[in-house]
Amino acid sequence: MLMVNNYDKDVYNGDIGFIERIDTQEHEIAISFDGKSVVYSFDELDELSIAYAVTIHKSQGSEYPAVIIPISTQHFPMLQKNLLYTAITRGKRFVFLVGQKKAVAIAVKNDKENWRYSRLRELLQASDLV
């Protein structure tokens, strides 16, 4: 998964690709993003991350053939209706919820959005309260 926009290579944050080849002689790796081969030098690998599991946040705007969503009461702050909705709507064909029914019930009933500090500050500044 791409972690940053790279306009020169025409690939963007959140794009997911598949490794085509690794060339240890040339110190580069070729990755296929939707059939388009993009070459990265080993020095650029910090722009990439493995994507066998991604967060709901990172998956926004993407779809996948199958999605497995672990859901547990142990992660109580994350049990929000909007997050569960986003997670479920990432799956094209299959969505599997693995965990506790109680956690799903809590998430469905919780329609309160937790604002990040940066968003709160932005709203306060727009209202001239800061």
**pLDDT at residue 59, as a whole number:** 82
Say yes or no: 4 and 29 in one domain: yes
Say yes or no: 45 and 3 in one domain: yes
The residue to which tokens 């990040």 are assigned: 116
Is the pLDDT reported for residue 53 higher than 70? yes
Say yes or no: 66 and 16 in one domain: no
Final residue belonging to a domain, choices 11, 28, 52: 52
The CATH number linked to 100 is 3.40.50.300
Using only C-alpha atoms, the chain has a radius of gyration, in whole angstroms, of 19
Structural domain range at position 95: 56-118
C-beta neighbour count of 50 within 10 angstroms:
7
Say yes or no: 79 and 108 in one domain: yes
Task: Give the model confidence (pLDDT) of 75-128 as tens digits.
Answer: 888 899 999 999 999 999 999 999 999 999 999 998 876 655 556 666 766 766
- 27-42: average pLDDT: 95
Rounded CA separation 89/64 (Å): 9
In the chain, % of residues over pLDDT 70? 87
Q: The whole model's pTM is what?
A: 0.65
Say yes or no: 104 and 75 in one domain: yes
